[in-house]
Amino acid sequence: MINFPNFSLSVSLIVFTDFMKTITAVPGQDVTLTCHTPNNNNIKYVHWSRADLESEYLLVYRNGQFFPANQHPSFKNRVDLQDRQMKDGDVSLILKNVNTADDGTYQCRVIGLSLRSRVNSSVFQKGLRVESLLCFKMNQ
């Protein structure tokens, strides 16, 4: 963490995509991590994870339901899909109340009916390499 008289710089998020993106936020702000399928493809499964969380995840949606059982405790009540209808294939994640513990590599996996013929098919969709989330804390 770098401290300056009026603020300190802290958070970095890494996410996979075909492009690099930097998000700047203040602790407590909400950020959106984008992920899109080519269309809604009858989406059956959405899995948002972070590499360092191992078996725990941020969000799982399967067959019309969210599954909070193995959700990492630090993300409970802090994540949601930007569009629960997933119109136009939008499975972007809203991360609420960003803090320095949110550093890491994020991944979005989507499975739709059209992908079912592949064994163990999971598609790492476009829209997710956030090079860094710069989190500035304003000191009073």
Domain with 40 in it: 2-138
Report the CATH number at residue 93: 2.60.40.10
Note the pTM of the prediction, 2 decimals: 0.67
User: What is the pLDDT, as a whole number, of residue 121?
Assistant: 28
pLDDT of 126 over the 50 cut: no
Cα–Cα distance list, 85 to 62, 65, 72, 81, 89 (Å): 13, 12, 24, 9, 9
Model confidence at 86, pLDDT cuts 50, 70, 90, reads confident
Number of domains in the chain: 1
Contacts of 64 (CB under 8 A, 6+ apart): none
Per-residue pLDDT tens over the stretch 24-54: 667 788 888 888 777 666 788 888 888 778 7
